[in-house]
Amino acid sequence: MRLSIYNIFAASASALLHGSGSSFCNVGTVPTTCQQLKSDFPNITLLPDDPGYLNETKVSWSASAWERPACVVVPHDASEVSSFVKQLTASHVPFAMRGGGHMPIADAANINATGVLISSTNLQTLRLSEDRSYFSVGPGPRWANVYESLNGTGLIVVGGRLGPVGVPGLLLGGGLSFYSFNQGMASAGGKIRAYECVLADGSIVTATSDNEHSDLWWALQGGGNSFAIVTRFDLQTFYDPTPLIAEASYGSGDPVREAFLAAVLAFTADEDADPFAAITPIARWGPNYTQPAYFSTLFYNGTAAPTSGPFAEFVNSTTTGLPADDGSSVLSKLPLASYGAGYLPAFRAGGESYGRRQKFRVISSKATKATIQIIHDTYFDVLNSTGIANTVGDFFTGLAFNPVTTRMAEASKGSPYGIPVEPAFWVEQSVTWASDEDDSVIEQFLAEVDTKIEQKLQEVDGYSSYIYLNDADKGQNVFESYGASNLRRLQEIREKYDPERVYTDLMPGGWKVAHAQDATQASARSY
């Protein structure tokens, strides 16, 4: 017999805010608040037995992020978001805000029975300005929806590489994009003209680079969810020819490994890199693998890709040491809308990636031959030594070497994240598995492998402390890696706009600048 979620409260009233230590939480008020919300907003409040409740709580592709909130509210605009924030704050009821739900951490964009989920499902703004200079997007669409809406206009915005990724999470964490090698991070350099925000007191403001909320505008470029709930992003548009895209498969084996890692390093370290070229190189290991296999998304923002240089090494050629399988690296004109939409089915109910458990973790290094070999070889050596691929059901893993070029870092200056201006790798470790019974095994594997990788990187002076928020795992020190002055400024802005810590303690999910170690002890780096 299924227990009522309200009976669960009585049984587990002491299970509060995931260890946040908040003074806000009063679990006894949560069922009452949900009933009041249902009375006040009957058409946009979902109780656990209402149709649509389960769909809202399982939007995330990853089962590890599925929770059972006390109720779900689905506002249509900033005014309704404001009403919910004010009512939940007055009732001292914890809550979460969900965008696309791509982050696989359980409480990053969801909440358990101690609180209320504010869903962005109905916040679906997609609107091109009259002068076509910016595109307004709500927190509800995925990047596939954004690109589809712009399809045929000749315009594009700097956004996510994969269509299923949500808009707000990517932008509030900085945002890697196919266009980053030319334009920097998606949120940097004024590419977000304005943020429409609901502040912790329920007031609705617009933050731009030159109004009274310019400090908030700066903080939202990579400071996460500590400051406001963003209900609209105004994104700078630019002319975009139909790009050239390929999904290349290079096979496996030692010669491929050596050529692949050398090509990734050459692309990343090239001081004269073509800014219109992008790669997403990945080494994968799955069921029945005996060694890693190598792949890369190839993207060129132009009508003709270069025939020489580091990018050309990834394109199918008989003269390179990196030949692709079956011509898979041949570039073809493909609208970003079509490319993004192609990934959507796999991340929806019934898709191959939906409903399994997922975890991301990131480790950063300087871009050298020694560092890329250390990260690759140590990761797969530990994987083999533990036997995890054979003992954990539906185990699959990918090691994505996100290249950070000098040009990309330079173009991202002035934003909170303080990226070191040097070639680097942000390596995303992604792991997929089937059962929550193996959660601890996955945790132990990642802890062991990262400890060994970091130790070896330190020995060759190749370690970087920078942590990219959107690929980070719970417990990684994201904001400490932004540099002391940037962290201090973020903390001051958070205190100004949310002195009662509503978006820190009452909305506990995600990384919080207030929880970062004292800025005076953080890295002295700032840019």
| Whether 491 contacts 514, CB under 8 Å | yes
Q: Burial of 370 by CB count in 10 Å (0-12 exposed, 13-18 middle, 19+ buried)?
A: middle
* DSSP β-ladder status, 116-119 and 71-73: parallel
Strand, helix or coil for residue 459: helix
Cβ pair 522, 252 in contact under 8 A: no
Q: What is the pLDDT of residue 325?
A: 83
pTM of the predicted model over 0.95:
no
More confident residue, 525 or 116: 116
Q: Given this model, what pLDDT does residue 1 score?
A: 31
Q: Over pLDDT 70: what percentage of the chain?
A: 92
Q: Which helix (H) or strand (E) holds 39?
A: helix 29-40
Q: What is the pLDDT of residue 445?
A: 98
Per-residue model confidence (pLDDT) at position 14: 32
Q: Which two tokens mark 517?
A: 């170690």
> Quick one: pLDDT band at residue 526, thresholds 50, 70, 90?
very low
pLDDT for 6: 29
CB 191 within 8 A of CB 183: yes
Distances (CA, A) of 68 to 123, 210, 523: 22, 41, 38
Which band of pLDDT confidence, cut at 50, 70 and 90, is reported for residue 348? confident
**Mean pLDDT rounded to a whole number for the chain:** 92
Phi and psi at residue 307, in whole multiples of 5°? -100, 0
Inform me whether the pLDDT recorded for 363 exceeds 60.
yes
pLDDT-above-90 percentage for the chain? 84
When pLDDT is averaged across residues 240-261 and rounded to a whole number, the result is: 94
Residue 19: its pLDDT value, please?
36
Please give the angle made by the CA atoms of 434, 400 and 353, to the nearest 5 degrees. 30
pLDDT given at position 9: 31
Task: Provide the b/e sequence for 381-405 (b: ≥16 CB within 10 Å).
Answer: ebbeebebbeebeebbbbbbbbbbb
pLDDT for 320: 61
Is a pLDDT exceeding 90 seen at residue 521?
Answer: no
Domains of the chain: 30-119 (3.30.465.10), 126-239 (3.30.465.10), 244-478 (3.40.462.20)
pLDDT tens, position by position, 448-483: 999 999 999 999 999 999 999 999 999 999 999 999
User: What angle do helix axes 369-386 and 439-459 make, rounded to 10 degrees?
Assistant: 150
Which pLDDT tens digit goes with each residue over 13-43? 333 333 333 444 455 589 999 999 999 999 9
- Tens-digit pLDDT profile for residues 132-141: 999 999 999 9
With b for 16 or more beta-carbon neighbours within 10 A and e for fewer, the 25-59 pattern comes to bbbeebbebbeebbeebeebbbbbeeeebeebbbb
Termini Cα distance of the chain: 57
φ and ψ of 327, to 5 deg: 65, 25
